[in-house]
Chains A and B, each alone.
Chain A
């Protein structure tokens, strides 16, 4: 016998949501039968601006699509333009881009881990995650001048170099940050409060994750080993790493993937610092882009695509950004079906929704 069904609106304003997404939750007693998502509250039309901004200046817009993975957005855009124009970026610039990308991943994941702890009511864990995140933001600020928006990537390379002495200091400091993260990861992996709120909750099968288009930790937490860094952009082909994959498919697995990826990012930064070659950090770019390219990068939340199309003029015809959150919404809908009402906030958080990103 089925009970009476009720529709409960969740969001767009909710204590657990940093950004606005709305879900119509069809519930029966305390069980969610269906979730219907709705976004569109912060659509800014940033893609359209490409028609009015010089392709070199548009980097500043691309970087502001998101306040968390800002650097990787600018990298994705620049890489797309460079590939259309056949620009050879100096090796050192590739390494610097990789270092800043991994710092971005660390700070994004630590931010998420803090928010996740907060959503579970684990205030102390939340504050410790953000305390460690400050170390990463300090490094970003010291090397680029910006904590959130770096402005260091440009078409043809990067704007700022890092001295040998600074790289050595970074190498030492990243080890300390890594040790701090490993210490806190034990809480995420072993604490009974975390396990109680996450294990077996928000299950998504490996097949569903793949066919519904899940990316990033959402996919890797279900055993799908997709990591766009393995396609070989920037300096990643020179670094030794394998995608972090967990097979549980629940909130706990998605949390574990992110927690382990912070440690992996610290290793990648150390490797990049050891291998970074000398030389120029940029090349002069002449002419205008003519052609098209799907530039794919791995953001903290997963695969992001900047599709660029130019017609030989200084304004691009099209910049289409497919962000990881947009493609993780259908898997979220599947995860929510059958869960308890009280688990909805935790499940929503485990895709690390970035709505500003998704709506551009």
Chain B
């Protein structure tokens, strides 16, 4: 097993642009921006890489917080920022190309915004016993 060393640094919204600028000045490329719904907040990972060193800046924000765009620093970030807006409903200010919610044409607005609903599925007793003995999927 090869586990790649992956650094994650927690930062605030206010310091985002400064931190991203530092990465850009140091010659890192923007790998991706990804969002995760966690209970009543959103966790946004800004991933960078230089010489195969993989590093992340993580911002955790509340539901109504708007994010500043980093597209002045990394021009190509518009694709991730529009995705973040369209799937999660997170407002992003200052994007160089703003699709106004039409990059991803989803049938319902912001389909990933809500936290996953907790559902309890009743398993018939006999099937439950079989699963235990077979050890799950395999």
> Which residues of chain A have a CB within 8 Å of any CB of chain B?
36, 38-41, 43, 45, 47-48, 51, 54, 56-57, 82-83, 86-89, 154, 210-213, 230-233, 237, 284, 286, 293-294, 296, 303, 305, 307, 309, 315, 317-318, 320, 322, 326-327, 329-331, 359
Contacts and interface: CB of A to CB of B under 8 A. Distances in A.
A57 B24 CA distance: 39
B103 A213 contact: no
A43 B31 contact: no
Contact of B104 (A39, A87, A212): A39
B45 A307 contact: yes
A322 B112 CA distance: 16
A211 B29 contact: yes
Contact of A293 (B6, B52, B112, B136): B6
B31 A322 contact: yes
A237 B2 contact: yes
Contacts of B102: 38, 40
B105 A51 contact: no
A317 B137 contact: no
Question: Which residue, B29, B45, B104, has most C-beta atoms of chain A within 10 A?
Answer: B29
A48 B4 contact: no
B119 to A, nearest CB: 8
Interface of B: 1-4, 6, 24, 29-32, 34-38, 45, 47, 52, 54, 56, 74-76, 78-80, 83, 86, 97, 99, 102-106, 111-112, 116, 135-138
Given A40-B105, A307-B45, A317-B36, A211 B74 contact: yes
Contacts of B78: 330
A320 B34 contact: yes
Contacts of A326: 79-80, 83
B104 A43 contact: yes
Contacts of B29: 210-211, 213
19 contacts: A39-B103, A40-B106, A43-B105, A45-B106, A45-B112, A57-B137, A89-B1, A211-B30, A213-B29, A230-B52, A233-B4, A237-B2, A293-B3, A294-B47, A305-B31, A317-B36, A320-B36, A327-B31, A331-B76
* 8 A-B pairs with least C-beta separation: A330-B76, A40-B104, A322-B32, A40-B105, A51-B116, A320-B34, A212-B76, A318-B36
Contact of B112 (A41, A48, A294, A330): A48
Contacts of A48: 111-112
A355 B10 CA distance: 32
A331 B135 CA distance: 47
